[in-house]
Amino acid sequence: MIRFGIVGSNWITERFIKAGRQHADFTVTAVYSRTEKKAKEFAWKHQIENAFNSLEEMAQSSEIDAVYIATPNSLHCEQAVLFMNNSKHVLCEKPFAANKLEAEIMITAAKDNGVTLMEAMKSTLMPNFLAVKENLHKIGKIQSYFSTNCRLSPFYEQYKQGELPNLFNPKLAGGSLMDLGVYTIAPIVDLFGVPKAVDASGNVLDSGVDGNGQITLHYSNFKANVMFSCISESTLPTEIQGEDGTILVHHISSPKKAEILFSSGVAEDISEQEQFDPMYYEIEEFIDLIKSECLESPRNTWSNTMAVMEILDDARRQMGVDTVTTD
């Protein structure tokens, strides 16, 4: 069994626990929250034995082997390094860090401490995305790529009423690109590697984060265009257009269906039946890495994570959004 500590007590950590408990080698033995009351309430609700409101105490605990970090983006680096320096493996939510510099610090800490470190980018590990990779050759030479991840945030009304939820707080490295746009970028990097150039524009809100935006990634023979927003909705699928057909991926952040529409008019459903919760697959990958004593995932690689972070940094600078820096 891999004994997990949970850093954060929110809806995403609840989903993580539910998904993890589908795995035979997963157990949760500790949770951290900023207040003792909230930590104990969360622990009681999810039948977790240990509750902490001190990260240092939790990092030193002998009751955990690994942690799942799902706190605001600006805290990922500091928290991840703390746990790795205490010989704990780290699964860190997307985006991996607030910027490329922090990502480099995290990877160095993993190497120095000999522990597993992986970004929890679930979509690139899910069966339907893997089906896209396996069938990509069928559509011939790639001519264009389009993807969108636009979802109206439930916190937008709070923001408009003068509050400052995490998503809209620049000090926490918030914004639509970091929260939603990253889901459009990571699959492109996984499929096609590092682009030759990046062009970005966006709508910067009064708080200083991007509410929505567009990015063009330039590759040798085609361009990939993505849109993202936390202040509006889109239902459009991702399209990978080739000379012989087009692959449609529905819900790129959590691919639920994938199909090929061939130029001949024939359609092929390449979807894989999912047996588990979408977050299960990242947990399975992470546990396998720990058991095999691998520091880095061969699928959600550090090089892919670094490439995505560099694109995010570049795009945010072009949009006029400050990137959070590490002192």
List pLDDT tens digits, range 220-254: 999 999 999 999 999 999 999 999 999 999 999 99
Residue 300's contacts (CB-CB under 8 Å, 6 or more residues apart) are 118, 119, 121, 124, 125, 282, 285
Per the domain annotation, does 312 fall within a domain?
yes
Instruction: Assess contact for 204 and 319: CB atoms under 8 A.
Output: yes
Number of structural domains found in the chain: 2
- 8 A C-beta contact, residue 100 and residue 63: no
pLDDT in tens, 165-206: 999 999 999 999 999 999 999 999 999 999 999 999 999 999
Q: Using one digit for the tens of pLDDT, what is the confidence trace for 55-68? A: 999 999 999 999 99
Whether residue 273 is found in the same domain as residue 222: yes
Cα distances (Å, whole numbers) of residue 62 to 30, 34, 59: 10, 20, 9
- Does residue 209 sit in the same domain as residue 239? yes
Q: Residue for token digits 């939510």? A: 93
Clarify whether residues 245 and 312 are in a common domain. yes
In whole angstroms, give the CA distance from residue 187 to residue 239. 12
In a domain, 326, yes or no: no
Is residue 149 domain-shared with residue 24, that is, in the same domain?
Answer: no
- Asked whether 248 and 225 are in contact (CB, 8 A), the reply is no
Look at residue 324 and tell me if it is in a domain.
no
Quick check: is 61 in a domain?
Answer: yes
Residue 325 has pLDDT above 80, yes or no: no
How confident is the model over 283-290, as a mean pLDDT? 98
Q: Do residues 79 and 155 both lie within one domain?
A: no
Q: How is the chain split among helix, strand and coil, in percent rounded to 5?
A: 40, 25, 35
Residues 192 and 80 in one domain: no
Same domain? For 285 and 196 the reply is no
For the record, the structure tokens of 255 come out as: 């691919």
Q: Mean of the pLDDT values across residues 133-143?
A: 98
In a domain, 327, yes or no: no
Distance CA 38, CA 51 (A): 9
- Tell me whether strands 223-229 and 245-250 are parallel, antiparallel or unpaired: unpaired
**Whether residue 220 is found in the same domain as residue 90:** no
Token look-up 């923001």 returns: 159
C-alpha span between 164 and 65 (Å, rounded): 35
Residue type, 227: M
pLDDT of residue 327: 45
Compute the distance between CA of residue 249 and CA of residue 191 in angstroms, rounded to an integer.
Answer: 13
Q: Please give the residue range of the domain that contains residue 133.
A: 124-277+307-319
